[in-house]
Amino acid sequence: MKINPIINPNIARSYQANSSRSVTSPQKPNAGRDEVTFSAEALSFKKSLQEAREAVETRTPEEKNRIDAIKVAVQNGTYSVSSEDIADRILSSVLGSR
């Protein structure tokens, strides 16, 4: 097996200079304590999620009953919507009228 010689001697010198240095990490004032910071986007998401949960919790009993009935119908495979109703909803959302 033949190993090609290093063409550029500066590469070897650079490696030797860097390998002789000892690497140490700077000491933190609160060594042993972790710190977590959240981005503005994460805080905004948290607020939106909380508002969504509150909206679900503030539903009227009639709304909850209707949602439960729809869930049961979907699970049983008996929930169906007519294609005319779907088309009407699509058109009303596109045209801006309800």
Sign of CA dihedral 41, 42, 46, 47: negative
Distance CA 53, CA 70 (A): 20
Cα 5 vs. chain centroid, distance in angstroms? 50
pLDDT in tens, 15-53: 666 665 555 555 556 667 888 999 999 999 999 999 988
- State what percent of residues in the chain have pLDDT above 70: 66
Query: pLDDT band at 73, cuts 50/70/90?
Result: very high
pTM of the model: 0.36
Q: Which amino acid is at 3?
A: I
Picking from 86, 88, 70, the residue whose alpha carbon sits closest to that of residue 78 is 70
Tell me if 52 sits within 8 A of 58, measured CB to CB. Answer: no
Q: Residue 48: which of 93, 56, 63 has the closest Cα?
A: 56
Please give the share of the chain, as a percent, with pLDDT higher than 90: 44
User: To the nearest whole number, what is the mean pLDDT of the chain?
Assistant: 81
